[in-house]
């Protein structure tokens, strides 16, 4: 830029410098700073509880959206509805490790799945889950997302949300290197210890849930809000039972979770 200005100044003595105008933006993008990283720190997973057509319509036309929508067709279709550099409206009031407004720093993936319908949970289509796994691997790699920041809507909004539900295959994804999981042997040894010595108090449970990212009251009481958080934790890490009631197995996993 400086050289150009000098050239213009020299030329100006001979003739008018027609090409230079200070009002016209001329941005040099040839040099990229080494100190930078992605603004995206989280991936949030959802189910749509609507059909392919309805999901697409809702997420593209109403006041709610996600970056990606994965259909449950025999050959799942992956829509990019909001560019990754922009903010989609999928998380709502939410928090993870104390950070709020997760829409501003996350990528949202909506998966077509009926959710809880007629008193039963709709299973996830295995082909669709392979597509979701491929999409997650790509996003995690490009944005360098940490394992513990791959979360479900219920993890970040446990008082309001239950998606992606207890049938979401977190453990299978963790075996492919996606998301956080626990050492089963360590969890089992903690479980046996709790079975022998009795469960720790509610204050300990609340502190541990907070340690692993959840927003939970520090009431030292098994109140409704605390039970909701325990249920969200169970849906993710021990989905066989998610009543929100603490037990030795749940707390063993909680203590083992990195
Ligand atoms: Zn959701």
- Which domain, by its residues, includes 171? 42-175
Give distance in angstroms: CA of 109 to centre of ligand 1: 9
Give distance in angstroms: CA of 67 to centre of ligand 1: 12
Query: Is 202 found in the same domain as 227?
Result: yes
Specify whether the CB–CB gap between 188 and 255 falls below 8 A.
Answer: no
Q: In this predicted structure, what is the pLDDT of residue 15?
A: 53
Q: Would the pLDDT of 4 be above 90?
A: no
> Where a domain ends, among 143, 175, 207?
175
Can you read off the two tokens belonging to residue 254?
């909680």
**Catalytic one of 41, 61, 110, 240:** 110
Supply the DSSP string of 157-174, one letter for each residue: -TTT--TT-TTS-HHHHH
Q: In this predicted structure, what is the pLDDT of residue 92?
A: 97
Q: Would the pLDDT of 1 be above 80?
A: no
pLDDT band of 223, cuts 50, 70, 90:
very high
Query: Is 154 found in the same domain as 58?
Result: yes
Per the annotation, the verdict on 110 as an active-site residue is yes
- Candidates 147, 163, 179, 40; CA nearest to 92 is 163
Q: What is the pLDDT of residues 40-80, one digit of tens each?
A: 999 999 999 999 999 999 999 999 999 999 999 999 999 99
Number of domains in the chain: 2
Residue 106 in any domain: the answer is yes
Give distance in angstroms: CA of 85 to centre of ligand 1: 20
Interatomic CA distance for residues 172 and 178, integer angstroms: 9
Q: What is the pLDDT of residues 195-220, one digit of tens each?
A: 999 999 999 999 999 999 999 999 99
The contacts of residue 138 (CB under 8 Å, 6+ apart) are none
Query: Is 163 found in the same domain as 56?
Result: yes
Query: Is 141 found in the same domain as 228?
Result: no
**First vs last C-alpha separation in the chain:** 51
Q: What is the CATH number of the domain that holds 157?
A: 3.40.80.10
Interatomic CA distance for residues 115 and 47, integer angstroms: 7
3-state secondary structure of 106: strand
Give distance in angstroms: CA of 76 to centre of ligand 1: 19
Give distance in angstroms: CA of 51 to centre of ligand 1: 15
């Amino acid at each position: 830029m400086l050289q150009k200005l000098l050239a213009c100044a020299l030329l100006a003595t001979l003739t008018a410098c027609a090409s230079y105008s200070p009002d016209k933006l001329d941005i040099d993008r040839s040099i990229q700073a080494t100190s930078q990283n992605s603004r995206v720190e989280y991936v949030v997973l959802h189910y749509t509880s609507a059909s392919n057509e309805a999901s697409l319509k809702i997420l593209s036309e109403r006041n709610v959206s996600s970056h990606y929508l994965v259909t449950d067709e025999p050959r799942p279709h992956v829509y990019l509805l909001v560019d990754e550099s922009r903010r989609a409206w999928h998380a709502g009031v939410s928090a993870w490790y104390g950070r709020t407004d997760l829409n501003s720093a996350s990528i949202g993936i909506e998966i077509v799945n009926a959710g809880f319908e007629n008193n039963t949970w709709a299973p996830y289509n295995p082909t669709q889950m392979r597509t979701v796994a491929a999409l997650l691997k790509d996003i995690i790699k490009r944005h360098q997302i940490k394992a513990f920041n791959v979360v479900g809507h219920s993890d970040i909004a446990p008082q309001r949300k239950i998606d992606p539900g207890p049938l979401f295959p977190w453990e299978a994804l963790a075996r492919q290197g996606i998301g956080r999981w626990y050492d089963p042997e360590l969890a089992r040894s903690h479980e046996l210890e709790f079975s022998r010595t009795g469960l720790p108090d509610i204050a300990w449970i609340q502190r541990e849930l907070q340690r692993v990212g959840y927003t939970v009251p520090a009431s030292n009481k098994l109140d409704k809000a605390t039970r909701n958080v325990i249920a969200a934790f169970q849906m993710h890490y021990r989905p066989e039972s998610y009543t929100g009631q603490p037990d030795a197995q749940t707390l063993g996993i909680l203590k083992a979770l990195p």
